[in-house]
Structure 1
């Protein structure tokens, strides 16, 4: 994390850092004590893989950025990202972006995701524990699919009760909110503060949307895409362009991207339209970082 901030540190940048609620934040605060433009978010969420906490953490960062009166772009990065371009190149690129939102986005269902991705939004996701991948999906009691594996599913309901998780939602068929079309894509995005304000207004008007995603598998890959596509199609005030973050995947079913090495940076910098890359090797303490939001004070050109 510190290396990412060091490289991006500039008079026109500031950083909003979220540390997983389950982790001691003191080492991170101490590591960034020499930077005057780093703020640690007071509202902290559990960064459970596939959980809603990752979405909430990003929303906390955007709220703080708006409240602080920032302008320019907000870029969601992880503590294992590194920039591929100089700060001057990044700022120049963003000043010419004309307010575009940068995120990978495709309509659902889509063949890029297993089962078209419909299981993520039509089934209820619950976690056995906070370990990566330790979750299960359940259909509603009113879905025929529940009874195709009725013994296994009833055992899972029993687990929920023992863990004091509430399974009452299973008495209702799960449907994506009718006022949006579902879109999915990579978690990492960039949007202007003005667009973040539109997002916040939308969420305030549709409070059920965040609640719905409590049971979405990998909600961070659907939550923002669906709203941004809706706003772009109804307001026509911005375009959606590919993500600025490069990641290399071993295959389409992999849960995590390939770990890159710092010596690969010169080659990675040749990637067209990419300003950042992930993920790179990090010290054990750095691997616990959940999200970093980077905001530029530069007025949009």
Structure 2
């Protein structure tokens, strides 16, 4: 069972090296997408001797909450289908992930679950009961690539346009009068009511998934033949938590061979009084190691914030070998 790791990164090349070294075995290939705003040469230099590490050639700008992350992932899927094994799994990770299980366990897990794709899929109204309209009915406009520098604008002829928050939106619009890129998109969509393409049912879930190469091929072909779905999400916020779930749900309707289970990456969105998702440190070791047998990876970690948590996990894996 071959593992094709897709890793999305924008910084911390040394942390990426540790992640790749940790996961590297004879059953692994790595397809790394470096954000278009980052210096890729720094990353490439770290892996000059690795024959199973490939950098995605078609790079995207991964502005937080934007469509670039979806496009980057699709680009990686395309290159994997052209260059790698067809009987394995594609595993989507970020450069700030780390495995909770050792390679032997991960290999056994995917070998005994060949027929399953691991992705969280539920109706978007259930996953984001208070936010789903803003996620898919409002327009997201970025003023820059900086995280948080955007506005969400409801369609002109919707009741939401009369909300008090519209005053804040109007102020931001006037503060960005010189932003030509924003205004070009804003006036293009001003009177358009958002319509979900082909009457698809919008689904949602965590961004991180592991899917078979067979399913990946079906997703990739659907995406190439239905570009209007990507265009729809061009102005949506956080489409990476909706796009793939929506496509797989649509494919499952007519393809009984696609079987899904929950995602295999553990992320803590529940902790209070901290920035979410939680960035794990040494004091979180017990929380991480107490996750059930289906959680193979976790995010997120910061090499510069706490290096010891990596050592603790590695020590545990060595003891279990």
TM range (shorter): 0.7 to 0.9
Greater shift, 265-274 or 233-242, is seen at: 265-274
TM superposition shift of 1:156: 4.3
Q: Distance in 2 between matches of 1:172 and 1:252?
A: 39
1:232-287 CA-partner distances (Å, limit 9, x unpaired)? 22211121111100112245998631111257556523411100011112249xxx
Work out which of the residue numbers 84, 91, 96 in structure 2 matches 1:75. 91
Q: Distance in 2 between matches of 1:266 and 1:45?
A: 37
Work out which of the residue numbers 254, 257, 273 in structure 2 matches 1:234. 254
Partner of 1:218: 238
Count the aligned residue pairs.
283
Q: Distance in 1 between matches of 2:85 and 2:160?
A: 48
2:298 partner SS:
strand
Partner of 1:109: 125
Partner of 1:290: none
Indicate conservation of the 8 Å contact 1:99/1:192, yes or no. yes
- Structure 1 residues 201 and 159: alpha-carbon distance in aligned structure 2, compared to 1, 3 A threshold: farther
Q: RMSD of the TM alignment (CA)?
A: 2.2
1:113-133 CA-partner distances (Å, limit 9, x unpaired)? 361422100000111322222
TM superposition shift of 1:57: 0.7
Partner of 1:2: 17
Q: Distance in 1 between matches of 2:49 and 2:111?
A: 28
- Where does 1:31-70 land on structure 2 (aligned, <5 Å)? 31-70=46-85
- Where does 1:233-272 land on structure 2 (aligned, <5 Å)? 233-251=253-271, 256-261=276-281, 264-265=284-285, 268-272=288-292
The alignment's TM-score, normalised by the length of structure 1, stands at 0.87
TM superposition shift of 1:163: 1.2
Partner of 2:319: none
Partner of 2:191: 171
1:127 aligns with 2:148: no
Indicate conservation of the 8 Å contact 1:51/1:219, yes or no. yes
Q: List alignment gaps of at least 5 residues for structure 2.
A: 1-15, 306-321
Partner of 2:295: 274
Indicate conservation of the 8 Å contact 1:146/1:153, yes or no. no
TM superposition shift of 1:96: 1.3
Indicate conservation of the 8 Å contact 1:14/1:38, yes or no. yes
Partner of 1:298: none
1:195 aligns with 2:215: yes
1:190-238 CA-partner distances (Å, limit 9, x unpaired)? 1111111100111122110011111110010001011111112221112
TM superposition shift of 1:90: 0.7
Tell me which protein shows more helix as a share of its residues. Answer: 2
Indicate conservation of the 8 Å contact 2:116/2:261, yes or no. yes
TM superposition shift of 1:140: 1.3
> Which structure exhibits the higher relative contact order, with contacts defined as CA atoms closer than 8 Å and separated by 6 or more residues?
1
